[in-house]
Structure 1
Amino acid sequence: MEGAPEEFGSAYRLLGGVVVPRPIAWVGSYDAEGRANLAPYSFFNVVSPDPPVVYFAPGGTGEHRKDSANNAIESETFTVHVVTRDFAEAMNATSATLAPGEDEFEHAHLERVDATRVDAPRIADVPVVLECELYDTQEIGRQTLVFGEVVHAHVDDDLLTDGKPDVRKLDAVGRLAGSYYSTTEDRFRLERPD
């Protein structure tokens, strides 16, 4: 089949179904009242190694922007957790639609600690966490891209070989399409909660 993106259901379905696997940014942030927020986004990647910049695109602009984007823009800081297979179910739980102010860390039974260099929360046991300062934002269509400069990183010693990250030791989870995910070894399925 050939055609315009909408002929495949929608541009989102086409791109989300063929640009796979996508890494997942599990973003931690505080709102203006100091309430923690934690949410996963699979429109995420590295932008530059110098300066070290990553981005996530949580969707929505203006008054429809997601909490993670609003918090990162207001506080100018956020954390990005690399999702591993051990944390896949908890990550999925944090994608649930919760009442305003309800804490995703508590909802998913995750231990929350403060980041080291930025004013943002992080999960205590996740093996890779990037602490970011807001670098820039950009609106494209109905998406707000949030760029963060990595100013501090937490990498579990078990993931290192000769002091450098070893991809063979990181069981990172990627997003496929619909309810499908993958690791560096296999595919699996998780249903998103309501």
Structure 2
Amino acid sequence: MIMIDPLDQSERDNYKLLIGSIVPRPIAFVTTLSSTGILNAAPFSYFNIVTADPPMVSISVNRKMGQSKDTARNAMATGEFVVHISDESFIAQINQTAASLPPDESEVVLAGLTPTKSNKVSVPGIAEANIRMECLLEHVIPLGGTEESPATDLLIGRVICFHIAESLYHNGYIDPEGLKPVSRLAGHSYAKLGEIFTIERPE
């Protein structure tokens, strides 16, 4: 085994170890609204479930040069965002939204995606997604970096409405093979669902 002390190497080197080890990572495709009504969209692979009671999800939005990115800034301003599950049907368009655009330009327009009205939040969702979750911002936790300049904004969102394609929903469960989720690996690499197997948990 190779032993590496993260204090002995750069942030970039630690980043490479993390994203190469913690795989596959689900990708949250997040829409937010700017103060001027621009629909922002971006993918994030630092994404997971927090709790089911009430349903909450977490998204870590790394800052750029110490400044919050559009997604975090908009979510903090409006208290709302929409999380979409990334799948094979529109992953190429999701990838396009990772482009660095100024705040007054919409990644949704750039990628040719279709906004769709939400039921309980003001932020539109994306019609191409087979699963989306309308969220209220429950907490924002600045983390990493220094006290004066955190490295990331951890957003905790409470899901207040699920939208699920009928073809995927069966007796309260989601069909993973029908969903065809796409996950993130390191570098420019992604992964599809792959083989599914079952191991029963012990009592």
User: What's the TM-score, normalizing by structure 2?
Assistant: 0.86
Q: Give the structure 2 partner of residue 24 of structure 1.
A: 27
Q: Give the structure 2 partner of residue 105 of structure 1.
A: 108
Check if 1:181 corresponds to 2:182: no
Q: Provide the C-alpha distance between the structure 2 equivalents of 1:35 and 1:58, rounded to a whole number of angstroms.
A: 19
Q: Give the structure 1 partner of residue 47 of structure 2.
A: 44
Amino acid in the other structure paired with 2:86: V
2:62 partner SS? coil
Runs of 4 or more off by more than 4 Å in structure 1? 6-9
Counterpart mapping for 1:9-88 below 5 A: 10-60=13-63, 64-88=67-91
Q: Provide the C-alpha distance between the structure 2 equivalents of 1:46 and 1:62, rounded to a whole number of angstroms.
A: 28
- The alignment covers a number of residue pairs equal to 186
Q: Give the structure 1 partner of residue 132 of structure 2.
A: 129
8 Å contact 2:90–2:128 — kept in the other structure? no
8 Å contact 1:24–1:44 — kept in the other structure? yes
Check if 1:91 corresponds to 2:105: no
User: What's the TM-score, normalizing by structure 1?
Assistant: 0.90
8 Å contact 1:21–1:182 — kept in the other structure? yes
CA RMSD of aligned residues (A): 1.8
Q: Provide the C-alpha distance between the structure 2 equivalents of 1:63 and 1:121, rounded to a whole number of angstroms.
A: 28
Deviation at 1:7, TM superposition (A): 4.5
Q: Provide the C-alpha distance between the structure 2 equivalents of 1:99 and 1:70, rounded to a whole number of angstroms.
A: 13
Check if 1:4 corresponds to 2:13: no
8 Å contact 1:61–1:139 — kept in the other structure? no
Deviations 1:19-72 (A, max 9, x none): 011111110010111111000011000000101000101111896011000111
Q: Provide the C-alpha distance between the structure 2 equivalents of 1:64 and 1:22, rounded to a whole number of angstroms.
A: 25
Deviation at 1:139, TM superposition (A): 1.1
Counterpart mapping for 1:148-163 below 5 A: 148-163=157-172
8 Å contact 2:49–2:56 — kept in the other structure? yes
Q: Provide the C-alpha distance between the structure 2 equivalents of 1:22 and 1:163, rounded to a whole number of angstroms.
A: 24
